[in-house]
Amino acid sequence: MKLVAVIFVAMIMVFSLVASIVPGTSSTKQSNPVAELGKELAKPLSKVDSIAPELSLALERVEDLLPKISLGEKESGEPGEMHALIDHTDGAFSNFELPRANFAGSVVSGAQFDGALLDGATLEGVTGDSVNFKNARMAKANLNASALENSNFQGAELRQSTARAGIFNGADFTGGDTSFVSFSGAQLRESLFVDAYTSGAIFVTADLTQADFTGSDLTGARFERANLERVTFTRTNLNLTNFTGAKLYGADLSEALNLTSEQLVDACADKSTKLPEGVAAPRC
């Protein structure tokens, strides 16, 4: 734009020069209208040089304010790293630091997350068999609607995570921290919670057929309307555990600790249910 203005001024000056050499009367000095016009136009155009730096600076500021669009994934494992909707079959993430990483909807069959830091990570809707989360830190992670059958969560810390409507059949949570995890509506058939710290966990309407809670701490856990058919509660701390509406058909609570008849008054047992001496449950 500056170059065009300069060319325009030059053209005005040329026309002005031509007009000034045209012969006129010797007695009268005539005004040159073209030259006068050139002078007036040159005044604002002379300010272009002083305005240009300020305009350039303003444009740079606008550019800085524009949102930056990422066209690729991060490779560094920084917080919030995106891994969503990707096939991570047999992926290697052992000991990676991936807090708040997003794996939503991804395939993770056979992937290795042992020892990984996944606090606050999103694994909602992930699918995969035999995934290794051994000793992983997964506090407050989102595993809702995930399908992770036969996966290894031994020693993993899932405190306050959500795993609603997930499929964890055959999963192993032995020795882990599943305190205050919400497994509402989840499938946990033949899952292992041996020696796990599961205080305050929520298993409302979950299917725990043949699950094993041997030696675990279920203080304050909730099993309302859960399927606890043939579940093992050997040496399990059931202090304040809620069994309202739970089906205890064939469950073994014979060596359970801190269990009272009051806790089972609204549960359903059958003749194959094993209870501690002095504890009763209605058959229905």
CA distance 146 to 81: 19
CA distance 93 to 83: 12
CA distance 190 to 18: 102
pTM above 0.75, yes or no: no
Specify the range with the lowest mean pLDDT, choosing from 35-39, 59-63, 257-261. 59-63
Q: Kindly report, residue by residue over 150-188, the tens digit of the pLDDT.
A: 999 999 999 999 999 999 999 999 999 999 999 999 999
Regarding predicted confidence, which is higher, 75 or 230? 230
Per-residue pLDDT, 101: 97
Q: Both tokens of residue 14? A: 């040329």
Q: Is 2 exposed, middle or buried (0-12, 13-18, 19+ CB in 10 A)?
A: exposed
Number of other residues whose CB lies within 10 A of the CB of residue 244: 15
Q: Kindly report, residue by residue over 181-234, the tens digit of the pLDDT.
A: 999 999 999 999 999 999 999 999 999 999 999 999 999 999 999 999 999 999
Cβ neighbors of 167 (< 8 A, separation 6 or more) are 146, 147, 148, 149, 186, 187
Regarding predicted confidence, which is higher, 78 or 158? 158
Per-residue pLDDT, 177: 98
